[in-house]
RNA sequence: GGGCGAUUAGCUCAGCGGGAGAGCGCUCGCUUCACACGCGAGAGGUCGCUGGUUCAAUCCCAGCAUCGCCCACCA
């Protein structure tokens, strides 16, 4: 006997182990089946499960489970990303707690005990990973994710590292990777370059300082420039004005004397200077501003780098400022300028300041040598693949975002000054010549050819951007560059499921690399972009805001199926999800409801019957519920195939709760308790069969509950398909099971009962008090049509406490439904005035409807232009409304005469 | 500055060229032999505003307003 409520925690652990024991998740390399591939977006190895992951993986799991049930050979490739900066941070922090710091050629910080080198550090990272990395993959199991865990990969794995090497070397040889000295986004906290995408613009309240630079040789004349970063003035090498700016025409070609430094800097004419902005003159710091860099190149200006890698002032600035942190230097510069009487004014100024997305500190444009990918070239085929529909985005609007970025793509800075990651496979000779190779010996050979003798080589210390390896995930995980069976079978992937926040970081780059290295074959045919999960107020969940809902807590509290169903039900396309606990609670109740429906079947001795044939059903209610089920399946199937997961959830919820539980099981009660043995047996078999089919339809969304109930009420231990999941059988229903007659008849009964209930409830008919019912529109046809409902309705009398076929007592009220008249409660148990009011209200509503329809149907344009079926439908509705109105009217008349 | 999206019941959101829907909340009534994580019945909306297209607009188009996001820039 099933317990009274469902206990997810016990069931989930047990069922998950059973599935694993049955090897239900692995890719089967089964040539008789069509493959279906999903590559998991590899979570950071340092990560832990948040709601975004929960949504992302619930959707993937739904697709995988559904496709397995459709007979596909599914590979859901799991794994983690080595997450360069994030991981290095975690381990560095851990080391710091032990008083250990990285040896970066700086003196030991006070309080620390020792420094460690690169090798030892990397060892520590691996050790950390072995102990606590990849927690998130264990957490995914709690969610029910059916990944092929035997194939788990890590972006720093040997195999994946080989792929990275090969890609780097090949792109270098194709001149699609190159080394360049230009301004990069420099993160002074992590001492590394980062890509444009890792820069976050933040609105900040700052100031605009106006400095007066004296003009050389013109005593008392100044040119005013404004800046938000006064410390950079120490690196100024020009002042620019617009060529057409009359105010400064005579100054072009002359020099200003840079205060505090004393450097002569030219005043140049350049379109970049905007006469409308500030004074119209702009200071030029080519080494620390992207625009100024371009100006500097145009005018051959000196590029003076004034920062070290910590963004402290370096030796290029006057003695007084050396070693100062950039913000301290800012204060000092302003104070000194003011002391010189050269500070014109300070305006408050709100502007956006670039910050490192990981470090949170303002980044500095910084002149360094870095490695770049020629993204523009790689982007071309990636754009074309989407244009031609080889890869489609769902929802389609994201294609525009993709195009927008891809068509304006900038060189991708891929080198990072970190230790954790794939080290750049480049070696330098004594004179700085570069040798890019798969390993040191290959590089040495190249060097030998180059120099004519063996030389000592130094490896580039930088590592690659984490996304460089993530970009290869769709094929590196399958064994590339080896020609593995997995690669052959499971590339390209079918669908990539991800959030829009990594379209640029990841999707775009997988497209570029996939097309380039896999013979022009896209990495996936569909990109399904899902919503972001926000809190119930619509705010992004973040630890600092304290509004984070932890999926594991929710799973503990409500069960994985409830969490999954909630996310699915909310996963409408094109909108963010605002998640609240009350919503999950509602779907937890749905789980309980299903559980109790199964319990009810069990109590009524419904048993699994392999030979049951729904087409042979005699009882109309049984034919009806089968018909309803058969109409639900295509809705669910189509919804999943169209990535409209909320619609699938809704169709299932409606069928199971509103149709099966609310109506069918109620109809079944009198049959279960009646004397008709054949009807009873048929109903028992049908009730369970329909429940089972519903469990299958629901399984992709709610795997645990459905599996458990199947095992408790299905064929049982050792039976054929004792596991729902391994049976993997998506229900298919013969079109013949859709029974229009049963649908119409039971639809009528449902409406009839609803009317009776409405009257009883609104009229406050006490429980037990009888109300009378007659079928007064007793045409032979309608009698025949509904003849065999009589027995059914008679049995319902118990529940509804209505008396069938009583004469209408004088003074009773008559309500109407279709061909039937429903006779309302006895006068003594209801308030007649109230009933008159109720009827009047109904009639008012109908009248409004009739006026509208009448107007429409007397419009000749409408009759001429609207499709016939629409016209016919409107006519029918008008007739119906009129009929109902007249019945209500006669009911009201009777009431008046009471 | 460029782009995208949203605006529908108290809240959260579906829907979408011909009858305004769901969940939660609310009100009323139910210890009905699966389930109070339940059952039954209700109340509640000129579908942001203004125009246009159409026989017909919540839905399509244009403009406006408000909110949100992305990209770029900011001396």
Do A574 and A697 belong to one domain?
yes
Q: Which residue has the tokens 């994201």?
A: A398
Listed residue (A711, A704, A696) closest to A13, CA to CA: A704
Nucleotide closest to A862 measured between CA and C1':
B55
Q: Is the model's pLDDT at A44 over the cut of 80? A: yes
Do A406 and A487 belong to one domain?
yes
> Above 0.90 for ipTM, yes or no?
yes
Nucleotide closest to A880 measured between CA and C1':
B19
Count of structural domains within chain A: 6
Which pLDDT value is given to residue A819? Answer: 30
Which pLDDT value is given to residue A538? Answer: 57
pLDDT band at A779 (very low <50, low <70, confident <90, very high): very low
Do A557 and A516 belong to one domain?
no
Residue A542 within any structural domain of the chain:
no
**Spatial distance between the Cα atoms of A883 and A429, rounded to a whole number of angstroms:** 97
A761 touches strand B (CB under 7 A): yes
Residue A294 within any structural domain of the chain:
yes
Does residue A7 or residue A540 have the better pLDDT?
A7
Q: Distance from residue A456 (CA) to nucleotide B63 (C1'), in Å? A: 71
At residue A812, the 3 state secondary structure works out as coil
Listed residue (A831, A885, A876) closest to A857, CA to CA: A876
Q: Exposed, middle or buried: residue A240 (CB in 10 Å: 0-12, 13-18, 19+)?
A: buried
Residue A731 within any structural domain of the chain:
no
- pLDDT digit string, tens, across residues A851-889: 888 888 888 889 988 888 889 888 988 888 887 787 777
Among A2-11, A491-500, A739-748, the range scoring the smallest mean pLDDT is A739-748
Domain span at A450: 425-459
| Total residue length of chain A | 898
A876 touches strand B (CB under 7 A): no
Give chain B positions with protein CB within 7 A: 3-6, 12-15, 18-19, 22-25, 28-31, 33-42, 54-56, 70-75
In order of A598, A615, A623, A624, A859, the CA distances from A620 in angstroms are 22, 12, 5, 6, 43
Q: Exposed, middle or buried: residue A601 (CB in 10 Å: 0-12, 13-18, 19+)?
A: buried
Nucleotide closest to A866 measured between CA and C1':
B55
Q: Is the model's pLDDT at A111 over the cut of 50? A: yes
> Token pair of A672, please?
């279960």
- pLDDT digit string, tens, across residues A5-42: 888 999 999 999 999 999 999 999 999 999 999 999 99
**Spatial distance between the Cα atoms of A671 and A538, rounded to a whole number of angstroms:** 49
Q: Is the model's pLDDT at A782 over the cut of 50? A: no
Flag residues 508-527 of A with CB < 7 Å from strand B. Answer: none
Q: Map A483-514 to HEC letters.
A: CCHHHHHHCCEEEEEEEHHHHHHHHHHHHHHH
Which pLDDT value is given to residue A524? Answer: 95
Q: Distance from residue A546 (CA) to nucleotide B22 (C1'), in Å? A: 30
Do A346 and A197 belong to one domain?
yes
Q: Is the model's pLDDT at A791 over the cut of 60? A: no
To the nearest 10 degrees (0 to 180), the angle between helices A703-713 and A8-21 is 80
Q: Exposed, middle or buried: residue A743 (CB in 10 Å: 0-12, 13-18, 19+)?
A: middle
- pLDDT digit string, tens, across residues A52-74: 889 999 999 999 999 999 999 99
Q: Is the model's pLDDT at A827 over the cut of 60? A: no
C-alpha torsion sign, points A108, A113, A117, A118: negative
Task: Report percent pLDDT > 90 for chain A.
Answer: 41
**Spatial distance between the Cα atoms of A264 and A261, rounded to a whole number of angstroms:** 9
Listed residue (A236, A240, A293, A282) closest to A261, CA to CA: A236
Q: Is the model's pLDDT at A796 over the cut of 90? A: no
Q: Exposed, middle or buried: residue A732 (CB in 10 Å: 0-12, 13-18, 19+)?
A: exposed
Do A511 and A446 belong to one domain?
no
Q: Is the model's pLDDT at A245 over the cut of 80? A: yes
Mean pLDDT over residues A780-785, rounded? 38
A403 touches strand B (CB under 7 A): no
Mean pLDDT over residues A95-101, rounded? 85
Q: Residue ranges of the alpha helices (H) in A223-349?
A: 290-299, 326-339
Which pLDDT value is given to residue A822? Answer: 36
Do A801 and A845 belong to one domain?
no
Q: Please state, rounded to an integer, the average pLDDT across all residues of chain A.
A: 84
Do A711 and A569 belong to one domain?
yes
Listed residue (A81, A80, A82, A77) closest to A150, CA to CA: A77
A597 touches strand B (CB under 7 A): yes
Among A240-244, A432-436, A584-588, A812-816, the range scoring the smallest mean pLDDT is A812-816
Nucleotide closest to A398 measured between CA and C1':
B4
Which pLDDT value is given to residue A595? Answer: 94
At residue A846, the 3 state secondary structure works out as helix
Q: Exposed, middle or buried: residue A41 (CB in 10 Å: 0-12, 13-18, 19+)?
A: buried
Q: Distance from residue A842 (CA) to nucleotide B26 (C1'), in Å? A: 23
Do A651 and A694 belong to one domain?
yes
Listed residue (A540, A534, A463, A473) closest to A505, CA to CA: A473
Residue A12 within any structural domain of the chain:
no
Domain boundary among A812, A830, A848: A830
CATH of the domain at A862: 1.10.287
Which pLDDT value is given to residue A71? Answer: 94
Do A341 and A435 belong to one domain?
no
Mean pLDDT over residues A337-365, rounded? 87
Q: Distance from residue A147 (CA) to nucleotide B71 (C1'), in Å? A: 35
pLDDT band at A85 (very low <50, low <70, confident <90, very high): confident
Q: Is the model's pLDDT at A442 over the cut of 70? A: yes
A428: left (phi over 0), alpha (psi -120 to 50) or beta: beta
Do A202 and A333 belong to one domain?
yes
Residue A857 within any structural domain of the chain:
yes
Q: Report the DSSP beta bridge partners of residue A101.
A: A115
A791 touches strand B (CB under 7 A): no
Which pLDDT value is given to residue A897? Answer: 59
A277 touches strand B (CB under 7 A): yes
CATH of the domain at A689: 1.10.730.10
Residue A26 within any structural domain of the chain:
no
Q: Is the model's pLDDT at A184 over the cut of 70? A: yes
Domain boundary among A365, A389, A404: A365
CATH of the domain at A112: 3.40.50.620
Listed residue (A411, A379, A2, A516) closest to A197, CA to CA: A411
Q: Which residue is nearest to nucleotide B13 (CA to C1')?
A: A570
pLDDT band at A500 (very low <50, low <70, confident <90, very high): confident
CATH of the domain at A303: 3.90.740.10
- Are A248 and A273 spatial neighbours (Cβ–Cβ below 8 Å)? no
A4 touches strand B (CB under 7 A): yes
DSSP structure string for A161-186: HHHHHHHHHHHHHTTSEEEEEEEEEE
Residue A165 within any structural domain of the chain:
yes
A404 touches strand B (CB under 7 A): yes
**Spatial distance between the Cα atoms of A877 and A221, rounded to a whole number of angstroms:** 88
Domain boundary among A808, A830, A852: A830
Q: Is the model's pLDDT at A829 over the cut of 50? A: no
A170 touches strand B (CB under 7 A): no
Q: Distance from residue A401 (CA) to nucleotide B3 (C1'), in Å? A: 8
Nucleotide closest to A600 measured between CA and C1':
B34
Residue A186 within any structural domain of the chain:
no
Q: Is the model's pLDDT at A772 over the cut of 60? A: no
- pLDDT digit string, tens, across residues A604-658: 999 999 889 999 998 888 999 999 999 999 999 999 998 999 889 999 999 999 9
Which pLDDT value is given to residue A777? Answer: 38
Q: Distance from residue A451 (CA) to nucleotide B18 (C1'), in Å? A: 83
Mean pLDDT over residues A382-395, rounded? 91
Which pLDDT value is given to residue A755? Answer: 73
Q: Distance from residue A526 (CA) to nucleotide B11 (C1'), in Å? A: 35
Which pLDDT value is given to residue A391? Answer: 93
Mean pLDDT over residues A226-251, rounded? 89
State the DSSP H helix or E strand holding residue A851, giving kind and residue range, or none if neither. Answer: helix A832-857
Which pLDDT value is given to residue A404? Answer: 87
In order of A67, A356, A363, A779, A849, the CA distances from A310 in angstroms are 52, 14, 11, 94, 75
At residue A735, the 3 state secondary structure works out as helix
Q: Which residue has the tokens 């389609």?
A: A396
Do A164 and A261 belong to one domain?
no
Which pLDDT value is given to residue A811? Answer: 23
Q: Exposed, middle or buried: residue A336 (CB in 10 Å: 0-12, 13-18, 19+)?
A: middle
- Are A333 and A318 spatial neighbours (Cβ–Cβ below 8 Å)? no
CA A888 to chain centre: 52
Do A41 and A152 belong to one domain?
yes
A804 touches strand B (CB under 7 A): no
> Token pair of A849, please?
């409807």
- pLDDT digit string, tens, across residues A150-160: 999 999 999 99
**Spatial distance between the Cα atoms of A373 and A465, rounded to a whole number of angstroms:** 11
Q: Is the model's pLDDT at A789 over the cut of 70? A: no
Among A403-407, A409-413, A431-435, A894-898, the range scoring the smallest mean pLDDT is A894-898
């Amino acid at each position: 006997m099933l317990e009274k409520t469902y206990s997810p925690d016990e069931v989930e652990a047990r069922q998950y182990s059973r599935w694993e024991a049955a090897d239900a998740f692995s890719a089967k390399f089964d040539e008789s089946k069509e493959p279906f591939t999903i590559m998991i977006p590899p979570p950071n190895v340092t990560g832990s499960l948040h709601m975004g992951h929960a949504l992302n993986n619930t959707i993937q799991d739904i697709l995988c489970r559904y496709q397995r049930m459709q007979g596909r050979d599914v590979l859901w490739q799991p794994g983690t990303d080595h997450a360069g900066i994030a991981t290095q941070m975690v381990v560095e922090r851990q080391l710091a707690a032990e008083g250990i710091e990285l040896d970066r050629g700086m003196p030991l910080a006070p309080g620390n005990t020792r420094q460690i080198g690169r090798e030892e550090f990397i060892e520590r990272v691996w050790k950390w990973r072995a102990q606590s990395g990849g927690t998130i993959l264990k957490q995914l199991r709690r969610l029910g994710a059916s990944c092929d865990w035997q194939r788990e990969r890590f972006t720093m794995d040997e195999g994946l590292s080989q792929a990275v090497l090969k890609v780097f070397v090949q792109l270098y040889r194709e001149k699609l990777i190159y080394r360049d000295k230009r301004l990069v986004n420099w993160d002074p906290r992590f001492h590394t370059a980062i890509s444009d995408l890792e820069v976050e613009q933040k609105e900040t309240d700052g100031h605009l300082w106006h400095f007066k630079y004296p003009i050389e040789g013109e005593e008392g004349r100044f040119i005013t420039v404004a800046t938000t970063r006064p410390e950079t003035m120490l690196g100024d090498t020009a002042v620019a004005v617009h060529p057409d700016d009359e105010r400064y025409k005579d100054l072009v070609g002359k020099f200003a004397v840079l205060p505090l430094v004393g450097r002569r800097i030219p005043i140049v004419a350049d379109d970049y200077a905007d006469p409308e902005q500030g004074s119209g003159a702009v200071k030029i710091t080519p080494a620390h501003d992207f625009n100024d860099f371009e100006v500097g190149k145009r005018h051959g200006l000196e590029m003076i780098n004034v920062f070290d890698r910590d963004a402290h002032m370096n030796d290029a600035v006057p003695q007084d400022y050396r070693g100062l942190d950039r913000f301290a230097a800012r204060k000092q510069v302003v104070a000194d300028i003011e002391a010189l009487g050269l500070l014109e004014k300070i305006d408050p100024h709100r502007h956006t300041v670039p910050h490192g997305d990981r470090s949170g500190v303002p980044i500095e444009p910084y002149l360094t040598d870095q490695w770049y990918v020629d993204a523009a070239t790689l982007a071309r085929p990636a754009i074309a693949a989407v244009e031609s529909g080889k890869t489609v985005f769902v929802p389609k609007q994201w294609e525009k975002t993709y195009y927008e970025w891809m068509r304006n793509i900038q060189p991708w800075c891929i080198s990072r000054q970190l230790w954790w990651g794939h080290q750049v496979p480049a070696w330098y000779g004594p004179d700085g010549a570069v040798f890019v190779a798969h390993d040191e010996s290959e590089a040495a050979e190249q060097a030998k050819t180059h120099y004519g003798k063996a030389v000592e080589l130094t490896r580039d210390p930088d590592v690659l951007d984490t996304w460089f390896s993530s970009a290869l995930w769709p094929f590196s995980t399958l064994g590339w560059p080896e020609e593995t069976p997995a690669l052959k079978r499971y590339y390209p992937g079918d669908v990539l499921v991800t959030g829009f926040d990594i379209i640029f970081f990841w999707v775009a780059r997988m497209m570029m690399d996939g097309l380039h290295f896999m013979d022009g074959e896209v990495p996936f045919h569909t990109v399904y972009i899902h919503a972001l999960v926000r809190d119930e107020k619509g705010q992004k969940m973040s630890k600092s805001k304290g509004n984070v809902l932890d999926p594991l807590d929710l799973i503990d509290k409500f069960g994985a199926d409830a969490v999954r169903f909630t996310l699915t039900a909310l996963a409408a396309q094109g909108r963010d999800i605002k998640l609240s606990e009350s919503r999950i609670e509602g779907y937890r109740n749905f789980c309980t409801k299903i559980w109790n429906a199964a319990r009810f079947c069990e109590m009524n001795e419904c048993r699994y019957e392999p030979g049951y044939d729904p087409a042979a059903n005699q009882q109309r209610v049984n034919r009806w519920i089968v018909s309803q089920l058969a109409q639900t399946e295509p809705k669910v199937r189509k919804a999943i195939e169209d990535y409209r997961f909320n619609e699938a959830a809704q169709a299932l919820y409606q069928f199971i709760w509103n149709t099966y539980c609310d109506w069918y099981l109620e109809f079944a009660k009198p049959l279960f308790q009646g004397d008709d043995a054949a009807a009873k047996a048929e109903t028992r078999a049908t009730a369970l069969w329909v429940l089972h089919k519903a469990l299958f339809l629901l399984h992709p969304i709610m795997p645990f509950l459905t599996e458990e109930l199947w095992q408790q009420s299905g064929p049982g231990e050792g039976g054929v398909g004792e596991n729902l999941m391994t049976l993997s059988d998506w229900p298919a229903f013969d079109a013949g099971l859709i029974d229009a007659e049963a649908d119409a008849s039971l639809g009528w009964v449902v409406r009839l009962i609803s009317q009776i209930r409405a009257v009883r409830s609104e009229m406050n008919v006490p429980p037990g008090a009888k109300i009378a019912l007659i079928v007064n529109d007793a045409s032979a046809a309608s009698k025949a049509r509904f003849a065999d409902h009589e027995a059914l309705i008679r049995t319902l009398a118990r529940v509804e406490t209505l008396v069938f076929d009583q004469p209408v007592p004088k003074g009773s009220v008559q309500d109407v439904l279709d061909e039937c008249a429903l006779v309302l409660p006895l006068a003594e148990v209801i308030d007649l005035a109230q009933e008159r009011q109720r009827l009047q209200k109904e009639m008012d509503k109908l009248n409004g409807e009739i006026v509208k329809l009448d107007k429409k149907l007397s419009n000749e344009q409408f009759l001429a232009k609207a499709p016939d079926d629409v016209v016919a439908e409107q006519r029918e509705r008008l007739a119906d409304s009129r009929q109902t109105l007249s019945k209500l009217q006669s009911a009201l008349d009777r009431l008046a005469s009471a």
